[in-house]
Structure 1
Amino acid sequence: MNEVYFPYFDPDFDKLPERINGPTCRVCIDNESMDDCTVVKVDSVNKQGLLLEVVQVLTDLNLIISKSYISSDAVWFMDVFHVKDEHGNKLTDQKVINYIKQAIGTTRETHNSAKAKTYANMVFSPEPNNNNEHTVIEMSGTDRPGLFSELSAALADLHCNVVEAHAWSHNDRLACIAYISDQSTHTPIEDPNRLASIEDHLTTVLRATITPTPTTNQPNQQEAKTADFLGGEGAVTNVERRLHQLMHSVRDFEGPPSRTASLPTTPSDSESDEEAGMKTTVKIESCDEKGYSIVNINCKDRPRLMFDTVCTLTDMQYVIFHASINSDGGYAFQEYFIRHLDGCAMSTECEKERVIKCLEAAIERRVCEGVRLELCADNRVGLLSDITRVLRENGLTVVRADVETQGEKAINAFYVRDMSGNKVDMEFIESMKKEMGPIALQVKNDTIRPSSPERSRFSLSHMLKASGSLITLLLSSNPCKYS
């Protein structure tokens, strides 16, 4: 038998470019230069989407980015971030520092690196969530009062256990991502026929009150579907990035479908002049000398703001070459020098107007007027459906939700508001507290509107005690600013 010979490759050959040009990605974390923040410096060979991946790493750790300077012209990416932890302090935990170095350092090498999960008030954990144990369902469409509750009930009726769910509502549109498993086996649902039945049932719920409009050329956007959650090159898409994409797909940037049916968006009488003056403004100018479009954003500052804007520009196929981010006194200023992926700047007013609307929508999606409810209860099948049903039956609608399961506990965070558009009656919340027994109640804003007409009392505690659940409820009358 003839021998087969293969060419020899030196194992150090792959490392040759790094030995000649240095490492392809360098991350430096400096706690000495600044008195009030930690400086994170990133130098790397550039690629499309790298800035978003770096910002996502910092955002997933609940870090506050107070300043940033970005330059990625040519083939090299250089970025400086001034960051603080969620309490406004420097980063001192060496585990967090090491994780940042590792996570950013591997963004060029693999898209499957561990991502920190910090929804609601979850503690940082570098361990990835094994989503292979669940089936992912995406739902999007026109929102209506009580829709999230109806979807939760539909999943319960379909014998699906909701392990995790995240929902956003903005401009009368809803986007929701739910991780589900079979109610009896607690395993992923893989039967194609059953999955098709689940999709059809949920889509029917989404379309329940939608009147067909034959005059429009747009496809029906009310849909539910299973998802692999994959982006380009097999990258696992961040949940919040996917929520942005879903909201964009149902065109929430165009405003509510029916202005007459929308809740009031004008500032309330109790809103201060300062709050009213911090309205989001987005402007786009042209830099003909360098061939850039310059995007200027002024708005109220909040955590995750940079992620939202960078995510939107990236998903709209724009490349960020230079940027300057600064926040001071609760106000944020962002400036981006961008071109489209084809290398061209924005050439028409129509394109500029669309980018402005999309950025404004991305900034506003996290801002929801309402009361925040945090519930921690013994987990059981149908718990989410029961809680949201009680809220719906008593005139409260969920405008934002983050639901997770940790061991035997269900951690639920809801932002709710009155279906009539008024502020939630805090006296009614107090009566709910008495009905439920000893719970922790926190009200951050003591300015409360006069009581609305009395509603019928309900017993959320009775419902939960019947299943042996223990529950903790925290309430806040402040508007949702982030989470």
Structure 2
Amino acid sequence: MAPGGLPYFDPEYESLSIRINPPRVNVDNDSCGECTLVKVDSVNKPGILLEVVQILADLDLIITKAYISSDGGWFMDVFHVTDQQGNKITDNLTIEYIEKALGPKGRTADESKTWPAKRVGIHSMGDYTAIELVGRDRPGLLSEISAVIANLKFNFSAAEVWTHNMKIACVVYLNDDSASHAMNDPTRLSVMEEQLKNILRVCGDDDKMGHTNFSMGLTHIDRRLHQMLFAEMDYDVKGLTNEADCVAFLELKISIDRCLEKGYSVVTVRCRDRPKLMFDIVCTLTDMKYVVFHATISSDRPYATQEYYIRHIDGSPVNTDGEEERVTKCIEAAILHRVSEGLSLELCAKDRVGLLSEVTRVLRENGLSVSRAGVTTVGEQAVNIFYVRDASGNPVDMKTIERLRKEIGQSMMLSVKKAPLSLKAPKARTKTSFSFGSLFERFLP
């Protein structure tokens, strides 16, 4: 007996089954002529499917097929994957990383820094400060945010920006340009916080102004962006804003059926295929407290069909029409968070304080609105990727692109690509939260 008469509980007992039956991972390049098979057998645990899919997504692997089963306390997955060019995974370092990350020991701290795991460090350690911003989107907002940060002599090390239904969520990694480490001066932090609140408050109600929040733990950055938009109920809107939105929406079909004999709800999604589609759906189901017991994923390019057998974490299926509608809307929103219609602009230049502010100012002055963005710094080189439309949400006139080339082409490289379809729609509240932590190295797309 433990002191006080309570029965003794061995803290190691909870992990006993995993230690007795460690995960088995097999990367198979022989069974299929067109793709690599990644097979995972493991004791089941909460969140394991999202963990596996997240690792494959971080490596930018394309999941063309998958078979998932996790009934009876055991988790068995088979993923058919290729690289971005549709080839098998033959790089030994990538294969070794998959085996280690999904295997018995999992990911170590050192491996996390050298492999492309995108995480938001939400604690007061490390060389970077992570800032989360959520609010109501408008043309030029990203330019105003980056101008405030540049004026205070903070430098962008990385950032991810998503917009959906007139709401914006972004996670920004900054360091102090004078010392190249996280911001430790509470006065400067307070000034930046107040200025950013004022920017967001322009489009918000006074009684719902931004606030500061400190939280603990590590969250994958893409998952965090989904959570931020979900918390702002970006899924709960009516109406589409332009013809391109309607076309994209018509390509997305979601149905929920009830499998009464097994007690499951069956969620079927059919839409245009794209990278990280499975991650976005599994991420959303997980954060909505649903458990995936079985799933079948297939892609017959350009479309994908994904079927999930789910129950709520309390063991109940999706029981009401209202719950079905909410699950459908949330999955729709999650799929559309990452997709962008219009043009993709990739700009490469030597990193410096104010670079992002300068670029976003030029985009704003040329009437362009940023629907999604990714900022990465590798050594002294900054790579900024922007998905843009005109201020009305319509495709960009190529004459505008030529003006951009003349304005910024002297100081940086500009690459223009066609972006895939996406969606957008109406309005939101405003919120600002600040969190402090480490930046884990990212893989360039």
TM-score under structure 1 length normalisation: 0.78
SS at match of 2:111: coil
Shift of 1:110: 6.2
Aligned length: 409
Alpha-carbon distance in structure 2 between the residues aligned to 1:380 and 1:417: 26
Alignment-derived partner of residue 114 in structure 1: 111
Aligned counterpart in structure 1 of residue 220 of structure 2, from 220, 227, 238: 238
1:390–1:263 Cα change, 3 Å = farther
TM-score under structure 2 length normalisation: 0.84
Alpha-carbon distance in structure 2 between the residues aligned to 1:127 and 1:281: 30
Alpha-carbon distance in structure 1 between the residues aligned to 2:53 and 2:193: 34
Residues 291 and 345 of structure 1 are in contact (CA less than 8 Å); yes or no, is this contact kept in structure 2? yes
Asked whether 1:460 is paired with 2:438, we answer no
Shift of 1:225: 4.2
Shift of 1:229: 6.3
Aligned counterpart in structure 1 of residue 237 of structure 2, from 232, 243, 255: 255
Deviates further, 283-292 or 169-178: 283-292
Shift of 1:105: 1.2
1:104–1:116 Cα change, 3 Å = farther
Alignment-derived partner of residue 210 in structure 2: 223
Alpha-carbon distance in structure 2 between the residues aligned to 1:173 and 1:267: 16
Aligned counterpart in structure 2 of residue 300 of structure 1, from 272, 297, 302: 272
Structure of larger gyration radius: 1
Question: Which fold has the larger relative contact order, with Cα–Cα distance below 8 Å and residues 6 or more apart in sequence?
Answer: 2
Residues 293 and 339 of structure 1 are in contact (CA less than 8 Å); yes or no, is this contact kept in structure 2? yes
Asked whether 1:471 is paired with 2:412, we answer yes
SS at match of 1:252: coil
Give the residue type in structure 2 aligned to 1:422.
Answer: N
Shift of 1:17: 6.0
Residues 68 and 326 of structure 1 are in contact (CA less than 8 Å); yes or no, is this contact kept in structure 2? yes
Alignment-derived partner of residue 47 in structure 2: 49
Residues 57 and 115 of structure 1 are in contact (CA less than 8 Å); yes or no, is this contact kept in structure 2? no
Shift of 1:479: 3.1
5+ residue gaps, structure 1: 1-12, 118-123, 213-218, 231-235, 269-274, 436-458
Alignment-derived partner of residue 257 in structure 2: 285
Give the residue type in structure 2 aligned to 1:195.
Answer: L
Alpha-carbon distance in structure 1 between the residues aligned to 2:144 and 2:136: 13
Deviation by residue 1:65-110 (Cα, 9 ceiling, x = unmatched): 011000001211001000011110111111111100001115x756
Alpha-carbon distance in structure 2 between the residues aligned to 1:363 and 1:475: 24
Q: Considering only aligned residues, what root-mean-square deviation do their CA atoms show, in Å?
A: 2.9
Give the residue type in structure 2 aligned to 1:296.
Answer: T
1:267–1:144 Cα change, 3 Å = closer
Residues 296 and 308 of structure 2 are in contact (CA less than 8 Å); yes or no, is this contact kept in structure 1? yes
Aligned counterpart in structure 2 of residue 132 of structure 1, from 102, 126, 132: 126
5+ residue gaps, structure 2: 1-12, 423-444
Alpha-carbon distance in structure 2 between the residues aligned to 1:147 and 1:242: 20
1:290–1:14 Cα change, 3 Å = closer
SS at match of 1:114: helix
Identity across aligned pairs (percent)?
A: 48
Shift of 1:346: 1.6
Deviates further, 51-60 or 279-288: 279-288
- Once the two structures are superposed, the pairs formed by residues 68-467 of structure 1 within 5 Å of their partners are 68-106=66-104, 114-115=111-112, 132-211=126-205, 220=208, 223=210, 225=212, 230=217, 236-255=218-237, 263-266=241-244, 279-433=251-405, 435=406, 459-461=407-409
Deviation by residue 1:175-231 (Cα, 9 ceiling, x = unmatched): 00000112322221123443333222212211212356xxxxxx83x636465562x
Give the residue type in structure 2 aligned to 1:248.
Answer: F
SS at match of 1:477: strand
Alignment-derived partner of residue 450 in structure 1: none
Residues 168 and 176 of structure 1 are in contact (CA less than 8 Å); yes or no, is this contact kept in structure 2? yes
Alpha-carbon distance in structure 1 between the residues aligned to 2:253 and 2:214: 34
